[in-house]
Amino acid sequence: MMSEQTSMTPSRILTGDTPTGPLHIGHYVGSVRRRVELQDSHQCYILLANMHAFTTRAEQAEAIHRDTLEIVRDYIAMGLDPKKVAMFIQTEVPAISELTYLFAMLLPFNRVMRNPTLKDEIKVKGLGDSYSFGFPLYAVGQTADILAFRAHSVPVGEDQVPHIEMTREVARRFNQIYCGVSDQADDAEHERLGGVFPIPKADVGRCSRLPGTDGVNKMSKSLGNAIFVTDTPKQIKKKLGKLYTGRQNPTDPGDINNALFEYVRTFITDPARVEKLERAYSTGDNIGDGHIKMEVAEAIIELLEPMKERRAPYEGDDGTIMDILRDGCVRANAVAEETLALAKEAAHLRYFGRGLQLL
């Protein structure tokens, strides 16, 4: 298939995570693995959404600061190379906040409140009607996270797709009202027609919704159903051992669409073995859940082993992590400041130039 990007246009990628705690294997298969694949061929920017973390944890600012550094260790563990990708802190890139304010003017309030991911979070996190003004604003902020980098592609899990859709709407609208791009223009043509922003695409991972070890909900730290990079083999076996399938006997035909088989297909790398397990399970050919769980556990332990090794040298060394982040922020600001200048120019908001220095 022909790619939309030609070799003439280097394609930029922006994605990120909210620092809510250590990363788990759901993050790995849902998104980080894809970034590792892309880091050699694309310009990758990875944002630590520490301001977004305040939407639900404003009272835990110190913990957010700690989690922000900790995620960098997990990224490196999972195979991201800080020389290849720019890992940076959202609040150290001021252009993002400035663009958020501007983009908030381009989005109807009701459009933001209709965003299904926001609605879902309000429900799941039990926010009721007591959420902060900043809570819906974070979705507008996310459009600025992406557009500040004039990103072409955003590797994310499925739950983030509504945010990318909103980002596409903002980009189209900006290009139409300030850059003279026709409202009939094809998304792929916006940049060529003089739009400041490309219309970015969501790049949804192969496995964007790994179930947690409860076998029911999506894997998530707050639900206590996650496996972390730093878990010991014993912890991993114990967590998987509890995975609920509802199946009773090794001779009962099992459902290969259950959570356990999501794990089989995600972590057992030999396709012939996966097929054999699926066949035995679906026909009830004397194969117990416990056996399969331990086979999956071994596969996960094997996957995590090199991650633990890569993580070890950074344990307890905040200085090195800060150096990585400073370098990432400098690289991020170089692009974001350029975008902001272009956007302000187009929107007749540019009166003076400016420089930005991180110390």
Site of interaction with ligand TRP (CB under 6 A): 14-18, 47, 49, 52, 142, 145-146, 154, 156, 160
Contacts of 67 (CB under 8 A, 6+ apart): 19, 20, 21, 22, 53
What is the CA 70 to chain-centroid distance, rounded?
A: 16
Burial 127-162 (b: 16+ CB within 10 A, else e): eeeeeeeebbbbbbbbbbbbbbbbbbbbbbbebbbb
- H/E stretch holding 156 reads strand 153-156
Length reported for the chain: 359
Q: Which residues contact 350 (CB under 8 A, 6 or more apart)?
A: 341, 344
**Least CB distance to ligand TRP at residue 18 (A):** 4
Q: Which is nearer to ligand TRP, 74 or 145 (CB)?
A: 145
The strand pairing partners of 218, in sequence order, are: 211
For ligand TRP, which is the closer residue by CB, 146 or 210? 146
Nearer to ligand TRP, 64 or 287 (CB): 64
Rounded to the nearest whole angstrom, what is the least distance from the CB of residue 14 to ligand TRP in the complex?
6
Provide, rounded to whole angstroms, the least separation between the CB of residue 297 and ligand TRP: 27
Between 92 and 145, CB nearer to ligand TRP: 145
Which tokens go with 151?
A: 């990103």
CB of 331 to ligand TRP, least distance (A): 16
What is the nearest approach in angstroms of ligand TRP to the Cβ of residue 175?
Answer: 19
If the CB atoms of residues 165 and 278 are measured against ligand TRP, the closer one turns out to be 165
